[in-house]
A and B are shown apart, each in its own frame.
Chain A
Amino acid sequence: MLTAMLGAVSQGILWGIMVLGVFITYKLLDIPDLTVDGSFATGGAVAAVLVVAGVDPVIAILAAMLAGAACGAVTGFLTTVFEIPAILAGILTQISLWSINLRIMGKSNTPLLANETVFSRMAELTGLPTNVVAIIVGAVVALALIAALYWFFGTEIGCALRATGDNEAMIRALGVNTGTTKMVALTLSNALVGLSGGLICESQKYADIGMGTGAIVIGLAAIVIGEVLARILPKGWTSGFAARLTSALVGSIVYFLIRAIVLQMGMDANDMKLLSAIIVALALCVPVVWERYRLRASYSKGGEGRA
């Protein structure tokens, strides 16, 4: 049980890097970017192929990150230059990536059983079990990324990027080319997704063509869970930008813990995607239903004062 939980935490952290990427597009840019399902697998495929070819596993992960960035740039290009709606642009990239990922690997999965990975190397160096190593490596990378994102979104470009998601007409009137900011956001977001895919591939020691399927839903579910958990804490702690990023990461860990628990309880692993979709759908429905209920409850026939 403990091993399963440790495994879930390490997966949650490594997938959490993808969630940070989804956070950029979904929460800051207000675009649910469906490229993610493809670019996550691309990251995994690139890392796997390079490791098998004998490339240093750290470089393989950096290459996975760059490959993810390239995927995001394609979606950005389609949506900014050709004005294809962002969701459709993401779907187009995602579908094409399926074929591209198969081309990269040459087959539908690539095992890394005998090859050295970032995690096996660290495990050898420190003598710790791989699960613990994955947690430590993942946490260091994730926290460094949160710090970097916190910095980036505080810069002039980062502020312009946040404003693009907030009020596009306004920031264009202030001289920002919103095509560029969207392009930067999609590229950056998918770079994180590719990085996460590469890390997951090396930690589970294989890449699979289907490894990214439903990634966007996992990302959304993690963000939603993180937001709900953040409400429990005092507002002053959770309203800052770094706290919002951290809560997305924590949301991811909790998501994988829930997953591990329901799997332990005997749920079919294939039903997990259904459960994720239900979590996201519920999270999106509840505020709407609550608002409707509140409006109805505040109605009174007698007018003010009698409500």
Chain B
Amino acid sequence: MLKLSNITKTFNKGTVNEKRALTGVNLELADGDFVTVIGGNGAGKSTLLNMIAGVYPLDSGVIELGGVDVSRLSEPARAKYLGRVFQDPMRGTAADMWIEENLALAKRRGQRRGLAWGISAEEKEEYPKLLASLGLGLETRMRSKVGLLSGGQRQALTLLMATLTNPQLLLLDEHTAALDPKTAAKVLKLTEEIVSERHLTTLMVTHNMADAIRLGNRLIMMHEGNIIFDVAGEEKKSLTVPDLLQKFEEASGGELTNDRMLLS
């Protein structure tokens, strides 16, 4: 499904701020894999997702999606393969546009946009039903501006938008980190439901180790720009948070894990 071969990325090359964000990452995802990604701040988790999405050009390496080499494609050109949800709830939706307009924009992900009406009559009937499945009461507010919704509602809507066209790969970049615990749990539950229902191949970055263990069928841990631990199946299910912390200390040479990882 997704195949990363020797992905490297260095920011601000040749300056004092040089940052080797990814140092030759290799990763292969099978169809339907739900992989959680953990690691300290600056480990390269978000950069990895951004490289797959084409936000920055690659320094070297090859990215294949469903057998297609997308390494040199621009961000908009890769969009048809990818659904993305960001950490910031403001980033995934257009605040000044209606809920139904946002959904219609997402429905046309990666398609050629022409002079047909921006939202069809069938879509106007279909979207309230879809929104009703979220259980947020948004189905009656199709013509509300998205900016009026709460962070959690916006994030749930973004998730729905990201998965509307059943993308080949779903990229979730700490998509619950900016939400309060109750809302985060709700959005996470929704994520689980959508991913399993539609059998979506998913990469989910999280700071919450318990979530990382509980969700998905595979877990990878990143440190200093590479994958240092990759576990799947039964072995993953039997992991505990202390196991992970220990793994992290081993791999990083006893370096203290950062507070945010410890707390979560």
Residues of A within 8 A of B (CB): 152, 154-160, 162-163, 166-167, 169-178
Q: Are B79 and A158 in contact (CB under 8 A)?
A: no
Identify whether the interface residues of B are mostly helix, strand, loop, or mixed.
loop
Q: Are A173 and B84 in contact (CB under 8 A)?
A: yes
List of B residues within 8 angstroms of A160 by Cβ = 105, 113
Inter-chain pairs besides A156-B118, A170-B94, 17 sampled, C-beta below 8 Å: A155-B115, A155-B117, A156-B113, A156-B114, A156-B115, A156-B117, A157-B115, A158-B118, A163-B94, A166-B94, A166-B97, A167-B90, A167-B91, A167-B94, A170-B93, A172-B76, A174-B161
Q: Are A157 and B117 in contact (CB under 8 A)?
A: no
- Chain B minimum-CB-distance residue to A181: B113
List of B residues within 8 angstroms of A157 by Cβ = 113-115
Contact of A155 among B92, B95, B114, B161 (CB under 8 A): B114
Identify whether the interface residues of A are mostly helix, strand, loop, or mixed.
helix
Given A175-B110, A176-B76, decide whether A167 and B84 contact each other with a Cβ distance below 8 A. no
List of A residues within 8 angstroms of B94 by Cβ = 162-163, 166-167, 170-171
Pair count A-B, CB < 8 A: 81
Interface centre among B76, B104, B109, B111 (most CB of A within 10 A): B76
- Chain A minimum-CB-distance residue to B111: A175
**Nearest Cβ on chain B to A33's Cβ, whole angstroms:** 19
List of B residues within 8 angstroms of A170 by Cβ = 91-94
Given A157-B113, A158-B118, decide whether A166 and B95 contact each other with a Cβ distance below 8 A. yes
List of B residues within 8 angstroms of A177 by Cβ = 74, 76
The complex places the Cα of A172 from the Cα of B75 at a distance, in Å, of: 7
9 nearest A-B pairs in the assembled complex, by CB-CB distance: A175-B79, A159-B118, A156-B113, A166-B94, A175-B110, A167-B94, A177-B76, A163-B94, A155-B115
Q: Can you name 22 A-B pairs with beta carbons within 8 Å?
A: A152-B115, A154-B118, A155-B114, A156-B113, A156-B115, A156-B117, A156-B118, A157-B115, A159-B104, A159-B119, A169-B91, A170-B92, A171-B105, A172-B79, A173-B79, A173-B84, A174-B105, A175-B109, A176-B76, A176-B113, A177-B74, A178-B76
Q: Are B92 and A156 in contact (CB under 8 A)?
A: no
List of A residues within 8 angstroms of B105 by Cβ = 159-160, 163, 171, 174
Q: Are A174 and B79 in contact (CB under 8 A)?
A: yes
Contact of A174 among B77, B101, B108, B119 (CB under 8 A): B108
The complex places the Cα of A112 from the Cα of B60 at a distance, in Å, of: 63
List of A residues within 8 angstroms of B113 by Cβ = 156-157, 159-160, 176
| B53 sits at the interface (CB 8 A) | yes
The complex places the Cα of A166 from the Cα of B116 at a distance, in Å, of: 21
**Nearest Cβ on chain A to B55's Cβ, whole angstroms:** 8
List of A residues within 8 angstroms of B97 by Cβ = 159, 162-163, 166
Residues of B within 8 A of A (CB): 53, 74-77, 79-80, 82, 84, 86, 90-97, 101, 104-106, 108-111, 113-119, 161
The complex places the Cα of A14 from the Cα of B105 at a distance, in Å, of: 34
List of A residues within 8 angstroms of B80 by Cβ = 175
The complex places the Cα of A138 from the Cα of B231 at a distance, in Å, of: 70
**Nearest Cβ on chain B to A170's Cβ, whole angstroms:** 6
**Nearest Cβ on chain A to B119's Cβ, whole angstroms:** 8
List of B residues within 8 angstroms of A155 by Cβ = 114-118
- Chain B minimum-CB-distance residue to A180: B76
The complex places the Cα of A40 from the Cα of B224 at a distance, in Å, of: 55
List of A residues within 8 angstroms of B84 by Cβ = 173
The complex places the Cα of A91 from the Cα of B54 at a distance, in Å, of: 32
- Chain B minimum-CB-distance residue to A157: B113
The complex places the Cα of A242 from the Cα of B106 at a distance, in Å, of: 24
**Nearest Cβ on chain A to B118's Cβ, whole angstroms:** 4
Q: Are B91 and A174 in contact (CB under 8 A)?
A: no
- Chain B minimum-CB-distance residue to A163: B94
The complex places the Cα of A268 from the Cα of B82 at a distance, in Å, of: 60
The complex places the Cα of A198 from the Cα of B118 at a distance, in Å, of: 32
Given A174-B79, A176-B76, decide whether A156 and B108 contact each other with a Cβ distance below 8 A. yes
**Nearest Cβ on chain A to B51's Cβ, whole angstroms:** 14
The complex places the Cα of A102 from the Cα of B229 at a distance, in Å, of: 68
- Chain A minimum-CB-distance residue to B108: A156
